[in-house]
Structure 1
Amino acid sequence: MSLQIIKISRPTKIELIRLRKRLALARRYYNILKDRETFLLQSFRDTYMRLVEDRRLLNKLLGEALNSYYTALSIHGWQSIIEQAGVVREEAVFKATYKNILGVWVYGFEPGARISPQPQLLPELAGLQRVRNDILTLIARIAENERALINIGMEISRLRRIVNTLEKVYIPRLEKTIRYLSMKFDEMQREDTVRTLRVKRMLEAR
């Protein structure tokens, strides 16, 4: 679809100057948004790599915890595990905060007080006690990174729409309008020059 020029009720040279200022501002705004999009893409990639690494480590720790749990279950039975679970009175608490990543607000999560070891628990659950605080920390980091990916991705999508509009529609229309008005004023100036020369020759002929 061909781009149409911007409609101007009374095209003047002052309006042409304003259009050139708008074009310069639009190009500068475009460059700023393009740079921000690049930085956000890099941040998105770094966050994704951290998320993958945290998930890999979480799976490893969960494997250790499950081995400890199933060992205790196979030795002492289900009823004993239920009784042992009632001994632990502490709850896992997470604190929610806000973080700003290149102008994008994301949630930050971190576990509260660390759960203290429970010496009265079965010895077979020692492996579970050893890794549970690390598991809670990783869960908080994974939740934070997943939320950050969603928010950064939405901001990148919004920036791309604006950048594409500037690049494909707004800036080309300004350039086309400026070219049209420049040609129009140049033509008017040539006509004035020719008219002036004709008047001058007529006056000289008298």
Structure 2
Amino acid sequence: MASSQIIPTRMELAKTKKKLTMALRGHKLLKDKRDELMRQFFDLVRENMELRLKVEEGIRDANRNFVVAKAGMDQQTLSTALMTPKQAVDLDIGYKNVMSVNIPVYTTKTKTADANDIYSYGFAFTSGDLDGAVKSLADILPDMLRLAEIEKSCQLMASEIEKTRRRVNALEHVTIPECQRIIKYITMKLDENERSTQIRLMKVKAMMLEDAHHYKEKNEAKFAEMAQEG
């Protein structure tokens, strides 16, 4: 805001001081929010790295078992064994608020409670390697869902951290310095006006005293003249 557009009045000064107070308070709250978001973000990043390694290792194990199973079984038998899944998983997506960020929470529920329902085939014509591959995928599924949940949470939190960082910088480098500059300018102008008013009052007082002194001298001279004539 240019200084020529600022009206240097006490009302404007009070309004700007109120704006500065709110900006300082908002700056502190946003900084605290940014710091807490970053702390939780880094916690999720560490968990994400650990889970990713675990999931990748589980997928490698499952792939190895599938390759071995495929080598020991003909393609038609393998396709028939996996054609009709016996178990199903329902995924429910909820949300929880973390520092004004709605991050996803995944909840799963299997169609049946029997752990053996992950096998959609009989064991007579299939190899144990296929069982191991299916078991590996079933075991790694919760970690895969948790990994997806964490990665989405990291994306949302990173976006919120960036927005909060921009707001903090705007307050710190634009709004607060601008308010401080306006307060300084208005205070300086008000002080100048007050000094000018005091100087004018002093001059008026001096003129009034001078006029009173001349008036007294005139009266004294007049009385003296009247006394001489009497």
Q: Is 2:196 the counterpart of 1:197? A: no
Coordinate RMSD, CA, aligned? 2.1
2:162 corresponds to which residue?
Answer: 157
Q: CA deviation at 1:134?
A: 2.7
Q: CA deviation at 1:145?
A: 1.2
Q: Is 2:42 the counterpart of 1:37? A: no
1:131 corresponds to which residue?
Answer: 136
Over residues 118-161 of structure 1, what are the superposed CA-to-partner deviations in whole Å (9 max), with x where a residue is unaligned? 38343222322433333211121111112111111111121122
What 5-or-longer segments of structure 2 have no aligned partner? Answer: 214-230
Q: 1:6–1:174: 8 Å Cα contact kept in structure 2?
A: no
Distance 1:5 1:51, change over 3 A: farther
Q: Within 5 Å, give how 1:11-160 maps onto structure 2.
A: 11-86=8-83, 88-113=85-110, 116-117=115-116, 118=119, 120-121=122-123, 122=126, 123-160=128-165
Q: 1:99–1:105: 8 Å Cα contact kept in structure 2?
A: yes
Query: What TM-score, normalized by structure 1, do the two folds share?
Result: 0.88
Q: Secondary structure at the match of 1:147?
A: helix
Q: 1:104–1:152: 8 Å Cα contact kept in structure 2?
A: yes
What 5-or-longer segments of structure 1 have no aligned partner? Answer: none
Larger Rg: 2
Distance 1:61 1:105, change over 3 A: same
Paired letter, 1:64: D
Q: CA deviation at 1:6?
A: 8.5
- State the number of aligned residues: 203
1: CA distance, partners of 2:65 / 2:29: 54
Q: CA deviation at 1:5?
A: 4.3
The alignment-based identity, stated in percent, is 27
Over residues 63-122 of structure 1, what are the superposed CA-to-partner deviations in whole Å (9 max), with x where a residue is unaligned? 221222122111122222112113532233322111212110122223321673238343
2: CA distance, partners of 1:5 / 1:144: 52
2: CA distance, partners of 1:6 / 1:158: 33
